[in-house]
Amino acid sequence: MGAQWKAKHKEAAANAKGKLFGRLVKEIMVAARNGADPEMNAKLRLAIHQAKKLSMPKDTLDRAIKKGAGLSGEVVNFEHPMYEGFAPHRVPVIVECLTDNVNRTVAEIRVLFRKGQLGTSGSVAWDFDHVGLIEASPEGDADAELAAIEAGAQDFEDGDEEGSALFITDPTDLDTVSRALPEHGFIVDSAKLGYRAKNPVSLSGDELDEVLAFLEALDNHDDVQNVYVGLAE
């Protein structure tokens, strides 16, 4: 959990697909600013791949690319603020947002952090590594450790009970490793730059429940794209 926090409860997943679509549409529009051709735009290519894995309708995908690339006549102006601070019990947190109104977003994020502590830029980032994060599922009996070595990943973590794995890369190697993993038996489910905690905090019982409730409230905010937390599994 030292990389990216995700709600794991089934009830929390009821609206997950719609929420993911909304977040992916934003990511696609922002990535498309640098060109609408995914072969020439690695960030856009990865976002499109993830959208297709989630069965995003083609019309939705095409519209997002055109809007982001300025081909639809509409002006898209998303900013990418990041917030750092602590969840309850001094658990470090980094929150990535995409918003068309930074003043609104920071005011609402500040409210959500009342149960923790909102810090200044750099207050917890030193305790995280900036890395590439690739979630991938094995085909057959593919071995994650061997795939990580052969594809050029720095490290890997075992995923869920279905055998998925999280491959960690240098930020500059994200696209290269994403392209290589299928050659070594893994289907890429998502790939993005993110943060991995250096010193995850271990909690249990009521303290853990309090932190998870705090993280879920952050994750439910419309402008929040990713939440990275220094919390041990």
User: Does the pLDDT at position 195 exceed 90?
Assistant: yes
User: Does the pLDDT at position 57 exceed 80?
Assistant: yes
Give all strands of the β-sheet with 128-138 in edge-to-edge order: 155-158, 165-169, 128-138, 186-197
C-alpha torsion sign, points 92, 96, 101, 102: positive
Percent residues over pLDDT 70 in the chain:
91
Q: What is the pLDDT of residue 158?
A: 82
Among 88, 90, 128, residue whose Cα is nearest residue 112: 88
Q: What is the pLDDT of residue 74?
A: 78
User: DSSP state, 191?
Assistant: E
Q: Of 66-70, 106-110, 149-153, where does mean pLDDT reach its minimum?
A: 66-70
What's the rounded Cα separation, in Å, for the pair 116 and 87? 4
What per-residue string of b and e applies to 90-118 under the rule 16 or more CB within 10 Å gives b? ebbbbbbbbbeeeeebbebbeebbeebeb
- Please give the average per-residue pLDDT across 204-227, as a whole number: 94
- Give the chain's domains with CATH numbers: 11-69 (1.10.10.200)
- Please give the average per-residue pLDDT across 17-26, as a whole number: 83
User: Does the pLDDT at position 73 exceed 90?
Assistant: no
| Confidence at 14, pLDDT banded by 50, 70, 90 | very low
Residue-wise pLDDT tens digits, 167-193: 999 999 999 999 999 999 999 888 889
Determine the length of the chain: 233
Q: What is the pLDDT of residue 223?
A: 94
| Confidence at 162, pLDDT banded by 50, 70, 90 | low
Q: What residues pair up with 135 in beta bridges, in sequence order?
A: 166, 190
Contact 97, 109 (CB under 8 A): yes
Residue-wise pLDDT tens digits, 82-107: 999 999 999 999 999 999 999 999 99
The mean pLDDT value of the chain amounts to 88
Q: What is the pLDDT of residue 16?
A: 63
User: DSSP state, 80?
Assistant: -
- Please give the average per-residue pLDDT across 114-119, as a whole number: 95
